[in-house]
Amino acid sequence: MSSYTVLNPATEQPVTTVPGTSAEETDAAIERARSAQRSWRAVAPGDRARLLRAFAAAVDAAGEELAQLEVANSGHPVSAARWEAGQLRDVIAYYAAAPERLTGKQIPVAGGLDVTFNEPLGVVGLIVPWNFPMPILSWGLAPALAAGNAVIAKPAELTPLTAIRVGQLALEAGLPEGVFQVLPGKGSVVGQRLVDHPGVRKIVFTGSTQVGKQVMTGCAQQVKRLTLELGGKSANIVFADSDLERAAATAPYAVFDNAGQDCCARSRILVEKSAFERFMELLEPAVKGVRVGDPASPDTEMGPLISAGHRAHVASYVPEGSPVAFAGHQQAGPGYWYPPTVLAPVSFTDRAYREEIFGPVVTVTPFSDEAQAVELANDTPYGLSGSIWTRDLGRAIRVSRGVEAGNLSVNSHSSVRYWTPFGGFKQSGLGRELGPDALDAFTEVKNVFMASD
Ligand code: NAD
């Protein structure tokens, strides 16, 4: 792949041209990373921490530039893009504290001293999707670097611009050459090479479950370490005893945020039968009130979809004659716009009910009791996130324990908090990112016994 043009999804106009990395160039980058990693792991913990703090400060100083790049490249509303640039900074700052705290254990044994070390893996390949280019880059990048690994990031074809800039910022902040490289290009070329090359010791893949399975198969050939963050079809469960006004007012944002291009989108709203009618009455104005439009405007809440192809894919879930209960604003003019759309009633076999749409389309389905709510929430191969709305504390506990998903919120729709572990059950993924234990995924435990006699 030679160079290619990146489009602004809100205007369909070209933003810039990006070089596509070849397989040979990927191999050369892996060699550079291997050599850089040998020095990086030897940098004293305090110095590695200082460099990561400088990196976070450089990202902070470039925050507005990064946000504007994301607005142009991804069509994210500027308020969201600023939050994303802030998350990138905060995640690097959070893990900047890790090198100085990466302690092993001293384990009591007979005849000597037993200690464990958390050794870096080597070169880590990060394969990033297009929906949240900055946050998802940071979740792998920061803990991997903190643990003493070198990182090669492969941004999604459609959204490479912020990652490329972040790579420059790392160098400007003083990270040694080769410790963090960004290789824009095709998944089937650069991504595949990272998976296949024996010099890469770990892959962090975030993307579709379909490609994730191929990556897992590839990694198996070398027993390569792997973290997978894949798709979702999460439930927002609303019980009749909940604060229905708040549940309805917030439900649109739990699924239409980032135009529904969110792995955690609560794209199945399940509502207790006795409250169903009232909930729909409250939901309609909330959906119609979502401010769809120019991503550059600070008031905008929802922008366009990422591409023409993706819009056609999303639209395929709402064919002629679909049960559209109501829809939000349809933006006119150029850009890959799709309105917030509510489908009800839908059958349990409907594609829109079963498959990840990754767009602003939500289904609303009634349930009869707590047991059925949990059963419906779990009736999916995915298990990433979900919300539970109830005022009954016991029920909140029972349903939270019953739903098979990695990230649940009660009476809220929490987005990713970098202080807490994030990841999926079932086909939503493998392993966890973020939180205090993230370095476990970027280190090998080495046990050393030293005889005292
Ligand atoms: P995708 O699977 O098409 O692509 C993801 C990345 O993989 C891209 O960088 C792509 O170039 C690369 N890739 C493609 N083929 C490859 C191959 N053969 N080998 C190696 N890499 C390859 O996904 P997408 O459309 O960019 O993103 C949307 C999907 O990502 C959705 O399913 C969404 O749920 C998921 N996602 C999950 C999380 C999570 O944390 N669980 C977060 C964001 C997105």
Residue 225 lies in a domain: yes
Q: Mean pLDDT, to the nearest integer, of 86-96? A: 98
Q: Same domain for 168 and 243?
A: no
Q: What is the pLDDT of residues 175-192, one digit of tens each?
A: 999 999 999 999 999 999
Q: What is the number of other CB atoms lying within 10 angstroms of the CB of residue 206?
A: 24
Nearest to 291 by CA among 259, 323, 326: 259
Q: Tell me if 359 CB under 6 Å of ligand 1.
A: no
Whether residues 57 and 199 share a domain: the answer is yes
Has residue 86 been placed in a domain?
A: yes
218 and 285 co-located in one domain:
no
Arithmetic mean of pLDDT, 415-423: 94
Q: How far is CA 450 from CA 90, 444, 445, in A?
A: 40, 19, 16
Q: Pick from 26, 127, 427 the residue to mutate for probing ligand 1's pocket: most ligand atoms within 8 Å of its CB.
A: 127
Most ligand 1 atoms within 8 A of CB, residue of 230, 305, 355, 385 to mutate: 230
Are 189 and 259 in a shared domain?
no
Cut 0.85: pTM above it: yes
pLDDT score of 313: 98
**Cα of 212 to ligand 1 centre, how many Å?**
7
Q: Are residues 363 and 395 in the same domain?
A: yes
Do 293 and 438 have their domain in common?
no
Q: Exposure of 14 by Cβ count < 10 A (0-12 exposed, 13-18 middle, 19+ buried)?
A: exposed
CATH number at residue 294: 3.40.309.10
Report, as an integer, the average pLDDT of 152-169: 98
Q: pLDDT tens-digit profile of 10-69?
A: 999 999 999 999 999 999 999 999 999 999 999 999 999 999 999 999 999 999 999 999
For a substitution probing ligand 1, which of 131, 132, 224, 428 has the most ligand atoms within 8 Å of its CB? 131
Pocket test for ligand 1, best of 74, 87, 206 (most atoms within 8 A of CB): 206
In degrees and rounded to multiples of 5, residue 312 shows phi and psi of -65, -40
* 66 part of a folded domain: yes
How many A from CA of 82 to the centre of ligand 1? 23
Is residue 415 pLDDT above 90, yes or no?
no
One domain for residues 125 and 19: yes
Tell me if 23 CB under 6 Å of ligand 1. no
**Structural domain count of the chain:** 2
The response to whether residue 206 sits with its C-beta less than 6 Å from ligand 1 reads yes
The yes-or-no verdict on residue 422 having pLDDT over 80 is: yes
- Give, using CA atoms, the residue closest to atom 19 of ligand 1: 192
- Whether 44 is covered by a domain: the verdict is yes
Euclidean distance between CA atoms 154 and 127, whole angstroms: 5
Atom 39 of ligand 1, nearest CA residue? 229
CA dihedral 28, 439, 63, 123 (to 10 degrees): 0
Whether residue 134 has its Cβ less than 6 Å from ligand 1? no
Question: Residue 352: is its pLDDT beyond 90?
Answer: yes
**How far away, in angstroms, is 131 Cα from ligand 1 center?**
9
154 and 211 part of one domain: yes
Question: Per residue, what are the HEC states of the chain?
Answer: CCCEEEECCCCCCEEEEECCCCHHHHHHHHHHHHHHHHHHCCCCHHHHHHHHHHHHHHHHHCHHHHHHHHHHHHCCCHHHHHHHHHHHHHHHHHHHCCHHHCCCCEECCCCEEEEEEEEECCEEEEECCCCCHHHHHHHHHHHHHHCCCEEEEECCCCCCHHHHHHHHHHHHCCCCCCCEEECCCCHHHHHHHHHHCCCEEEEEEECCHHHHHHHHHHHHCCCCEEEEECCCCCEEEECCCCCHHHHHHHHHHHHHHHHHCCCCCCCEEEEEHHHHHHHHHHHHHHHHCCCECCCCCCCCCECCCCCHHHHHHHHCCCCCCCCEEEECCCCCCCCCCCCCEEECCCCCCCHHHHCCCCCCEEEEEEECCHHHHHHHHHCCCCCCEEEEECCCHHHHHHHHHHCCCCEEEECCCCCCCCCCCECCCHHHEECCECCCCHHHHHEEEEEEEEECC
Q: Range of 354's domain?
A: 235-417
CA of 288 to the centre of ligand 1 (A): 31
How far, in Å, CA of 391 to CA of 245, rounded?
Answer: 13
Q: Please report the atom of ligand 1 found closest to the CA of residue 228.
A: 41
Cis peptide before 160 (omega within 30 of 0): no
pLDDT at 402 over 90: yes
Residue 1 has pLDDT above 70, yes or no: no
| Minimal-distance CA residue to ligand 1 atom 9 | 156
pLDDT at 137: 98
Q: Is there a single domain that holds both residue 254 and residue 372?
A: yes
Q: Does residue 251 share a domain with residue 117?
A: no
CA distance 362 to 297: 25
The residue contributing the CA closest to ligand 1 atom 6 is 129
Ligand 1 touching residue 229 (CB < 6 A): yes
Average pLDDT value over all residues in the chain? 98
Same domain, 218 and 273: no
Task: Give CA–CA dist 18/5, Å, rounded.
Answer: 6
Cβ of 424 closer than 6 Å to ligand 1, yes or no, is: yes
Hey, what amino acid is at 70? Answer: E
Q: What is the CATH number of the domain that holds 83?
A: 3.40.605.10
423 domain-assigned = no
pLDDT tens for 255-314 read 999 999 999 999 999 999 999 999 999 999 999 999 999 999 999 999 999 999 999 999
Rounded to whole angstroms, how far apart are CA atoms 376 and 238? 13
- For residue 422, is it within any domain? no
Alpha carbons 300 and 81: distance in angstroms, whole number: 11
Q: Atom 14 (ligand 1): residue with closest C-alpha?
A: 187
Which residues form the catalytic set?
229, 263
Residue 31 lies in a domain: yes
Of 6, 1, 5, which is closest to residue 22 (Cα–Cα)?
1
State whether the beta carbon of 139 lies less than 6 angstroms from ligand 1. Answer: no
One domain for residues 39 and 152: yes
Q: Nearest C-alpha to atom 10 of ligand 1 is from which residue?
A: 187
